[in-house]
A = this chain, B = another copy of it.
Amino acid sequence: MEGKGISQAVIRRLPRYYRYLGELLEDGVERISSNDLSKRMKVTASQIRQDLNNFGGFGQQGYGYNVKYLHSEIGKILGLDREHNMIIIGAGNLGQALANYTAFERSGFMLKGLFDVNPTLAGVTVRGIEIRMMDELKSFIRNNDIEIAILTIPKTKAVAVANMLVENGIRAIWNFAHTDLNLPEHIVVENVHLSESLMRLSYNVLRYEEKHQKKK
């Protein structure tokens, strides 16, 4: 999915702009030049200008960016100006950890329900949200206008559950299960493969050590 021809590399960077602009806003900064933003974010000023030009610019030559306006416009591009209803499937440690992230709600991501197969969790609440059993899932999705499902279940169950979610109208899956879901093209999938992230870290440690040893 390319959406208006914006590359995924630019999309990767947008939330980081949003974060830095949010921090500037909290600090009471009203305007910032691409040079100053560049120093803070440790990317080149030309990269910043190029990235933001994808969305029509926002800056006036010599005046810098209006922080509040740019923050709000990037928020709109990211869909943060409206509410997204979510459910979590898998109320284990990770599912409960995500359920406790109040920061998501401040960006419009509203957790409406938690689901699990473990009967000892039935009726337990996390931040006031009840853990339900899977037999309630279909009707819950339909009755609560659920857009996003967060999958924090073992990979052996993930594909079947994802297919069932799609059949019941889910638009997007935030997938923490360590497998590829291979869903229809109209379903947005964002994977968080934690062990792959840890392997990249290990790769980079090893390469650094090799480089360093060669220099000795």
- Which residues of A are in contact with B by a Cβ distance under 8 Å? 1, 3-4, 6, 11-12, 14-16, 18-19, 42, 77-80, 84, 92-94, 96-98, 100-101, 103-104, 107-109, 147-148, 171-172, 174, 178, 180, 182, 186, 188, 190, 192-208, 210-212
Task: Say yes or no: A199 contacts B107, CB within 8 Å.
Answer: yes
Which B residues touch A212, using CB under 8 A? 186
Task: Say yes or no: B203 contacts A12, CB within 8 Å.
Answer: no
Which B residues touch A108, using CB under 8 A? 202
Q: How many copies does the complex hold?
A: 2
A150 and B103 CA atoms in complex are apart in Å by: 20
A186 smallest CB distance to B (angstroms): 7
Which B residues touch A194, using CB under 8 A? 98, 101, 192
Q: Assuming the A-B contacts A172-B201, A174-B198, A201-B172, are A15 and B193 also in contact, with contact meaning beta carbons closer than 8 angstroms in the complex? A: yes
Which B residues touch A197, using CB under 8 A? 174, 190, 192
Task: Say yes or no: A204 contacts B190, CB within 8 Å.
Answer: yes
Task: Say yes or no: A195 contacts B15, CB within 8 Å.
Answer: yes
Q: Assuming the A-B contacts A19-B196, A107-B195, A200-B11, are A92 and B84 also in contact, with contact meaning beta carbons closer than 8 angstroms in the complex? A: no
A52 smallest CB distance to B (angstroms): 15
Which B residues touch A16, using CB under 8 A? 193, 196
A190 and B200 CA atoms in complex are apart in Å by: 8
16 example contacts (A-B, Cβ-Cβ < 8 A) are as follows A3-B211, A12-B200, A77-B206, A78-B203, A79-B199, A79-B203, A79-B206, A93-B96, A93-B100, A107-B199, A108-B202, A109-B198, A172-B202, A172-B205, A186-B208, A192-B194
A216 smallest CB distance to B (angstroms): 14
A158 smallest CB distance to B (angstroms): 13
A163 and B87 CA atoms in complex are apart in Å by: 37
Task: Say yes or no: A201 contacts B178, CB within 8 Å.
Answer: no
Which B residues touch A196, using CB under 8 A? 15-16, 19
A132 and B206 CA atoms in complex are apart in Å by: 29
Q: Which chain B residue has the least Cβ–Cβ distance from A150?
A: B198
